Structure 1
Amino acid sequence: MVTTITSFGRSGTFDWLYQRVTAVLLTIYTFFIVGFIFLSKDFGYESWSALFAHRWMRVFTLLALLSTVVHAWIGLWSVITDYITNLLMGAKATVLRLVIELLLAAVAVFYTAWGIEILWGL
């Protein structure tokens, strides 16, 4: 079995499974939010604020945020490794791919930290 230095022990099967699980969670979250918006009698700041005052909603939203990050990371990693590696060959492709992955990882960490701050007021 061949593994790359950036795989961190992951396999294609686990990536596929993670994407499917996160997609299901994001679908459930989306249907819940859309349902809340359309079924709310008086949808506005007060009802939205009351919904997010519940701890379970903040946890559900945090799970959706983390699912978005994991889902996006796996998808972008797959696309980057396929296209950058096929577009360029050799050391330039590896360096460019690692720089892009580092930038995307920094954005993912920033958005995750920002989301946690918004949800929990830390």
Structure 2
Amino acid sequence: MAIHNQIGPKRLVVGAHYGLRDWLAQRVTAVIMAVYTVILLVWFFGAQDFSYEGWASIFATQWMKLATFVTLLSLFYHAWVGIRDIWMDYVKPVGVRLTLQVLSIVWLVACAAFAAQILWGV
């Protein structure tokens, strides 16, 4: 009599299959944010002018605006992966979960647009 267990290479895998990709995304975005934080701290503690003009001059260069925006995008994606996992784990009604996910996406995209407006408005 053959035993049909669901263990091994022929098992039926169900679910969203986000595991490794999201784990890696969380680590990569965290590294980007950590590197940016170090750059910002070095720049801040090396500064001579602790006024608004001194702080604004840090973000006057195009590469710093771009680095800041990439870091903010990393932050938003990092937040999306985390909040999506929370919605998937703890909100069982599909309609409510989908609504919360869509609202989260809209909020994070709006934050990204606002961040771009702020960065390139300086």
Structure 1 residue 24, shift from structure 2 partner: 0.5
Q: Which residue of 2 aligns with 1:7?
A: none
Which of 50, 64, 76 is matched with 2:57 structurally? Answer: 50
- Looking at structure 1, the residues matched to 64 and 51 of structure 2 have their Cα atoms a distance apart, in angstroms, of 17
In the alignment, structure 1 residue 30 sits paired with structure 2 residue 37: yes
For structure 2, the 5+ residue unaligned runs are: 1-12
Matched, 1:39 2:51: no
Aligned residue for 1:59, secondary structure, equals helix
Secondary structure in structure 2 of the residue aligned to 1:2: coil
Structure 1 partner of 2:14? 2
Percent same amino acid among aligned pairs?
Answer: 39
Q: Alpha-carbon deviation of 1:96?
A: 0.8
Q: What's the counterpart of residue 10 of structure 2?
A: none
- Give the distance between the partners of 2:49 and 2:59, measured in 1 at CA: 16
Q: Greater helix share, 1 or 2?
A: 1
Aligned partner (choices 4, 7, 11) of residue 18 of structure 2: 11
Instruction: Please identify the structure whose Cα radius of gyration is greater.
Output: 2
Secondary structure, counterpart of 2:91 in structure 1: helix
Alpha-carbon distance, 1:41 to partner: 2.0
Letter in 1 for 2:53: E
Shift of 1:32: 2.1
Q: Distance in 2 between matches of 1:96 and 1:35?
A: 44
Counterpart in the other structure of 1:90 = none
- How do 1:1-122 residues align onto structure 2 when only pairs under 5 Å count? 1-4=13-16, 11-85=18-92, 93-121=93-121
Secondary structure at 1:74 match in 2: helix
> Aligned partners of 1:32, 1:43: CA distance in 2, in Å?
17
| Superposition CA RMSD, Å | 1.5
